[in-house]
Amino acid sequence: MGMVTEFKDFATRGNVVDLAVGVIVGSAFSKIVDSLVKDLIMPVVGTVTGGLDFSSHFIPLGALPAGYSGAMTYEALTKAGVPIFAYGNFLTVTVNFLILAFIIFLMVKQVSRFRSAAPPPATSEEVVLLREIRDSLRR
């Protein structure tokens, strides 16, 4: 029973529960940022750059399978088993990461600001009394 008790104590410790909540919220937040990049930011970037769509940029590294007559898109070639150097997809994921990191930076900055704005805890009566004794002994 000792191992079960230790695991229970570990799993219910505050830091572990906070980490679990953070991972769950982070994965949901990642989906929101993914949609932000894919549905809002990348179309604007594509319009500004003359219709450039990063996700459709790739270089096939292998030969097409014999008799392949499908589309020459990333999805179709991947399903056909063609090795692909998908630099456009990498750029999209990189932009996604940078936006996510920036948003998390702003959130942490705001939380830090709120924490520093809290007044310091009141000094205990014992500490005040000890300071008075210290000050009277100095005289």
Domain ranges of the chain: 2-138
Q: What pLDDT is stored for residue 52 in this prediction?
A: 63
Q: What pLDDT is stored for residue 132 in this prediction?
A: 92
Q: Among 71, 74, 42, 38, which residue's Cα sits nearest to residue 59?
A: 74
Alpha carbons 16 and 44: distance in angstroms, whole number: 40
Residues 6+ apart with CB under 8 A from 63: 82
Angle (deg, nearest 10), helices 87-117 and 14-35: 130
Domain 2-138 CATH superfamily: Large-conductance mechanosensitive channel, MscL; domain 1 (1.10.1200.120)
pLDDT along the chain (139 residues), means of 10: 80 76 84 81 79 77 86 86 88 80 83 74 89 90
The answer to whether residues 26 and 33 touch, using CB atoms and an 8 Å cutoff, is: no
Residue with tokens 């004794």: 133
